[in-house]
Amino acid sequence: GTVPIVPEAAARRGIPVTHQPKVRAADTADMTLALILAVPRRLGEGARVLTDKPGEWAGWSPTWMLGRRIHGKRIGIVGMGRIGTAVARRAKAFGLSIHYHNRKRVSPATEDELEATYWESLDQMLARVDIVSINCPSTPATFHLISARRLALLQPTAYIVNTARGDVVDESALIKCLREGKIAGAGLDVFENEPAVNPKLVKLANEGKVVLLPHMSSATIEGRIDMGDKVIINIRAFIDGHRPPNRVLPGR
């Protein structure tokens, strides 16, 4: 049979495994903020008004395309690593108050900078925030972390944004919540069975209840160049007999 390419298996065979850290955080955080704006402010719907039926827009009116204000709301960040912290910095600039759940607290200096509130209980945080941003890695421990039970804790005016991995959220339960109006909307860049996208999500997108993107949060020219550069540096270091700088070590 095949051997899974994981640090432990590779280490047993003397094969170094490397990755590209510190490359995607800014780009992914930017796209997370884009979705945080797009869903409550109905950007997708607004754009389609002008493209789907050109010439039929009657012009501005005070009750036209009303969305929800971002400023002053609470964001709950699930996973406060490099990407989650980058999201928090951007969200704070938009006037959101920062709340987060993580395996461990970030440094006091970072909490002070972001005026962030740490929640040891994910359940309690989910019940009290207006926007949930998923920024944790996909691991056995985070599979369906945002479960049907946890989705039920969200307020009906809450939004959920996922730019991490699709299987962190129970997609079927999310679809049910959206269809029944249990939450206000969602912005998704990742999907549980991608590249397949659930047709029910597409229908919800056409109804303006979700914004869907094709896993493009890290897709910038600069980011891909940086990733390639790190790969080359690691290969060169290995060939020259040096320890590659970005090794993934077993158990980490």
What tens digit of pLDDT does each residue of 57-109 get? Answer: 999 999 999 999 999 999 999 999 999 999 999 999 999 999 999 999 999 99
Task: In whole angstroms, give the CA distance from residue 169 to residue 150.
Answer: 10
| Rg of the Cα atoms in the chain | 20
Distances (CA, A) of 221 to 10, 24, 53, 86, 224: 31, 11, 33, 19, 5
How many residues are present in the chain? 252
pLDDT for 78 equals 98
Is residue 194 part of the annotated active site? The answer reads: yes
Catalytic: which of 48, 89, 215, 224? 215
- % of the chain residues with pLDDT over 70: 95
More confident residue, 172 or 232: 172
Burial of 2 (0-12, 13-18, 19+ CB in 10 A): exposed
Is pLDDT of 211 > 70? yes
Q: What is the mean pLDDT of the chain?
A: 92
pLDDT for 141 equals 92
DSSP 36-90: HHHTTTTHHHHHHHHHHSTT------TTTT-----TT-EEEEE--SHHHHHHHHH
Is residue 215 part of the annotated active site? The answer reads: yes
pLDDT for 62 equals 96
* Residue 1 pLDDT level (bands cut at 50, 70, 90): very low
Catalytic: which of 42, 90, 101, 165? 165
* Residue 13 pLDDT level (bands cut at 50, 70, 90): confident
CATH class, 25-43+68-212 region: alpha beta
pLDDT for 46 equals 93
Task: In whole angstroms, give the CA distance from residue 207 to residue 40.
Answer: 14
* Residue 233 pLDDT level (bands cut at 50, 70, 90): confident
0.75 surpassed by pTM: yes
Catalytic: which of 41, 48, 82, 194? 194
Q: At residue 246, what is the residue type?
A: N
| Domain map (residue ranges) of the chain | 25-43+68-212
Range of lowest pLDDT (9-18, 67-76, 230-239): 9-18
pLDDT digits (tens, 9 = 90+) for 188-197: 999 999 999 9
Q: Which of 45, 73, 30, 39 is nearest to 163 (CA)?
A: 30
Is pLDDT of 4 > 50? no
Is residue 243 part of the annotated active site? The answer reads: no
